[in-house]
Structure 1
Amino acid sequence: MTRSQSAGKTVIWALISATISQASSVMERSSFGNGRRMSHAGNGLPGWTVSGLGYLPEMLSDRIILTPPYPGNKRGALWADDIIPESEWHVAFDFRANGEERSGGNLQLWYVKKQEAVGSSSIYTVGKFDGLAITIDTHGGKAGIRGFLNDGTIDYKSSGNVDALAFGHCDYQYRNLGRPSKLQVKQSSREFEVLIDGNTCFKSPKVFVPPGNLFGLTAASADSPDSFEAFRFVATTYSGGNAKQQERGQEPPNRAGQANNDKAPSGGNVDIKDLQARLQAISSTTNKLMDELQALSRTNEDRLKEVIRIVAHRDQVSSVDQRLQRVERVVESMQREMEGKDYHNQFKQLQDLLHNSHSGLLDTLHDSSHRIISAAPRMGFFIILIIAVQLLLAVAYIVYKKRRASMPKKFL
């Protein structure tokens, strides 16, 4: 067994112990899309009430279409039948919104005392409700998520400015993402937090909603409609003791008459259900940890390869650096030798040698030119010779003319 596997098992058992000490129970009847098909006979959803205005939400095997892509002005609602008995809980809600960029519509996640106070209303059309509302819509030209609270005294429908009643918000482009958005709402003894796609949207240590409320989803579309789809809704409660899901007999007084007909479960069944819930939570946590450990192992392997590559490059850089250091040492040695020696005598000898060579060259050139000039024939001799030849030619021509003139003439 490797060290990483041993450490991974140690972490897993530690988390299992923490999970057992603080039991987490998935509220199966207040959840859907949690690893099971959602479509059932009779077009119903166990543990939930489906309703709408002008449209009944369509249930498919993997999602529920709360409002259709066409036509507009439709409303859809899903309400859990069972209340949440614990004060610490966590909700994971996966949804998707499709429509035009300027489409109108909104999606609400409710946690309120009475379903009848909300029905299929939106945050803009609801009256006096007691509880929490998380709204996903476009307001002020920006798409985002907001949180609203009410203790049953404020009539939101008649309020002049609903936007001012929000206690928290964040911008989020939810429309046409091509994938489900993952909304999480957490309430603990320390703080209340809303997350979207794993990032905190807003949180506050001052917000706390009392237990005993119902979860619900409502969606509304406008003339240019948004189509809202619900893929998954998982409600989980946390407690240090035997946390269990309350049946209808423990619901508020307005629903007590209906709940009295249900039989209370026996203690043995409750223990089995609680044990199953804990084992399911442990199994889910273990699977997540194994996935994270595998991802961590892959990350470490990638980092090791990167380190090896960097070390190889570092060796090459070190070799080049050593060569540069050797060159620097040679240059420094030459510089020290140049600075330590006196080259004045050498330069003087070189100067004398150049001076002697220059003087000898001048003397040699002077003697050679004198001999060349002395040995060359004189130009006066050539000139006199030319004049004498011309005089002789002139005398000969004159003699010839005289002799011809003195010769006897012949007449025919």
Structure 2
Amino acid sequence: MHITTQNMRTIAWSALVLSTRAQYVIENLSFGHKEGQPISPNLRGIPHFAANGDGYIPEILSDRAFLTPPYPGSKRGSLWCEDPLHHKGDWTAELSFRVSGMERGGGNLQIWYTKDSQKDYVPNSLYTAHKFDGLVLVIDQYDGRGGSVRGFLNDGTIDIKASPDPDTLSFGQCSYAYRNLGRLSVIKLHQANGIFEVTVDGNSCFRTDKVKLPEGYYFGLTASSAENPDSFEVHKFVVSTTNANTREEPNKQHPGQQQQRPPIPPPIQKPRHPKGSVEETHQLLKDVLAGSIKSQQDQFADLHNRIQIINHAVDSIYDLLERLETDNTDRYNNLMNRIVPMDDRTNAMLRNVEKVERINMDIQRDLESKDFKEMLNQVHNAIRDTHAGLSASLPAAMTHIVGTEKHSLTTFLFIAVAVQIMVVGAYMAYKKRRNNAPKKYL
């Protein structure tokens, strides 16, 4: 495989274009997004999230958290971020969850974005929450539907739970049958360029340009089950933003405090290793706020450094591909050299097979050509002569045996007389014993 310099440049510019719209995960507001790593290091809690419940504390496993258990019902559970969101204007919150339960199970799941965190309170749903300031997205089977997703806004003055028809207070909704799907459901909340949109499994649920959520609010996940319970399990919650902001949360500035512009950090270059070694050349550049780079000279310097990083990374990939191609070629040649010619063994095996086939053909021809009628007649005659001999000699032999081994008549008479004498003697003894026995009178 050969990659030209022109292809390398194309890849580099493509990576640069894609990086301008790349999404960076905000680590302290997310969990479950790192493959091969558990969401909890000790299975007792999720970093940067507070778990709470009513009669039940959410069960946290290595890859999921159960906000409500499969049994019993009427339980509540919650997970609240301990840090607020400091990004405004462009962010995405993605939740991967699954709901399972009996045929007529019930319950609801809420995604909160509120001014005040509720991590220290009993988990609430839309129908039990007090007046809150922010957004709540509700997934439930309201009004007997098969499932729906509804969004509600509150400025802290509306008591939604007291409304006779909360559905009229939602600013957006769509139908979604979320129960017992056997797979994960994915809901995304995205705010960018003055548009707020909610998507479900990649399909748009609702969107509006009249909602702009402020920064400094807290994310939360709450769930409650009915008497016939549904189990709400959360697998991933990821909050991300574009590279217009830093990958990590910036420090919140106090009102009136002037934010100082950080200097453009120079790229930190690691020593170049010899070509063909496992180590590669990398350059590290610290992330900075895009708004902190004011002058064109600083912007050009930052862009120049990042393009150099991409070029070095592409060169490293090219070297790695070359080494892989060389290693694969050498391995193929070694395997081909180790293969022993099999012509002699193959010829010997073919000769043995032909020999066996010839023997089988000879046996088949003998069986088909010979007449076995004469042989069968001989066997029949031998059996008939044996039967005739036995019929002729057997009576004489039996007569001889009976005549020589039989008992005389005198012996039988003696045995009969002896038996009768014994019977008479026994009877007389019985009578004598009976007569000598004492008399019994009533």
| TM-score of the two chains, using structure 2 as the length reference | 0.53
Pair 1:8–1:62, CA change in 2 (3 A)? farther
Pair 1:244–1:106, CA change in 2 (3 A)? same
Q: Distance in 2 between matches of 1:48 and 1:93?
A: 15
Q: Distance in 1 between matches of 2:285 and 2:163?
A: 49
Pair 1:197–1:42, CA change in 2 (3 A)? closer
1:237 to partner: Cα distance: 2.1
Q: Distance in 1 between matches of 2:97 and 2:116?
A: 24
| 8 Å Cα contact 2:110-2:136 kept in structure 1 | yes
Deviates more, 1:6-15 or 1:238-247: 6-15
Which 5+ residue runs of structure 2 have no aligned equivalent? 256-262, 266-283, 289-305, 311-442
Deviations 1:62-107 (A, max 9, x none): 1001100100000000001111111121011100000123211000
1:22 to partner: Cα distance: 5.3
- Find the counterpart in structure 1 of residue 94 from structure 2: 92
1:13 to partner: Cα distance: 3.7
Identify which of structures 1 and 2 has the higher relative contact order when contacts are C-alpha pairs closer than 8 Å and 6+ apart. Answer: 1
Q: Distance in 2 between matches of 1:2 and 1:170?
A: 51
One-letter amino acid matched to 2:77? G
- Find the counterpart in structure 1 of residue 61 from structure 2: 60
Which residue, 219, 223, 231 being the options, matches 1:219?
Answer: 223
Which residue, 100, 108, 111 being the options, matches 2:113?
Answer: 111
| 8 Å Cα contact 2:43-2:62 kept in structure 1 | no
| 8 Å Cα contact 1:86-1:211 kept in structure 2 | yes
SS in 2 for 1:41: coil
Residues paired across the two proteins, number? 261
One-letter amino acid matched to 1:91? A
Pair 1:161–1:177, CA change in 2 (3 A)? same
One-letter amino acid matched to 2:209? P
1:116 to partner: Cα distance: 3.1
- Find the counterpart in structure 1 of residue 167 from structure 2: 163
- Find the counterpart in structure 1 of residue 126 from structure 2: 123
- Find the counterpart in structure 2 of residue 136 from structure 1: 139
Aligned-residue CA RMSD (Å): 3.4
One-letter amino acid matched to 1:25? Y
- Find the counterpart in structure 2 of residue 334 from structure 1: none
One-letter amino acid matched to 1:128? K
Q: Distance in 2 between matches of 1:57 and 1:235?
A: 21
Q: Does 1:203 align with 2:197?
A: no
| 8 Å Cα contact 1:23-1:242 kept in structure 2 | no
Deviations 1:170-201 (A, max 9, x none): 11110000011011110112311111111111
Q: Distance in 2 between matches of 1:12 and 1:128?
A: 52
1:217 to partner: Cα distance: 0.1
- Find the counterpart in structure 2 of residue 274 from structure 1: 287
1:41 to partner: Cα distance: 2.3
| 8 Å Cα contact 2:25-2:247 kept in structure 1 | no
SS in 2 for 1:160: coil
1:10 to partner: Cα distance: 4.0
Q: Moved runs in structure 1, 4+ residues, more than 6 A? A: 6-9, 249-252
Q: In proportion to residue count, which structure has more helix?
A: 1
Which residue, 140, 145, 149 being the options, matches 1:145?
Answer: 149
1:158 to partner: Cα distance: 2.1
| 8 Å Cα contact 2:50-2:81 kept in structure 1 | yes
Q: Distance in 1 between matches of 2:156 and 2:250?
A: 24
Q: Distance in 2 between matches of 1:251 and 1:199?
A: 40
1:168 to partner: Cα distance: 0.7
Deviations 1:37-76 (A, max 9, x none): 0233270111000100100000011100110010000000
Q: Distance in 2 between matches of 1:164 and 1:9?
A: 55
SS in 2 for 1:216: strand
Q: Distance in 1 between matches of 2:234 and 2:287?
A: 28
Deviations 1:368-407 (A, max 9, x none): xxxxxxxxxxxxxxxxxxxxxxxxxxxxxxxxxxxxxxxx
Q: Distance in 2 between matches of 1:121 and 1:157?
A: 11
Which 5+ residue runs of structure 1 have no aligned equivalent? 253-265, 284-412
- Percentage identity across paired residues of the two chains: 45
- Find the counterpart in structure 1 of residue 29 from structure 2: 30
- Find the counterpart in structure 1 of residue 198 from structure 2: 194
Q: Distance in 1 between matches of 2:201 and 2:116?
A: 29
The structure that has the greater radius of gyration is 1
| 8 Å Cα contact 1:109-1:133 kept in structure 2 | yes
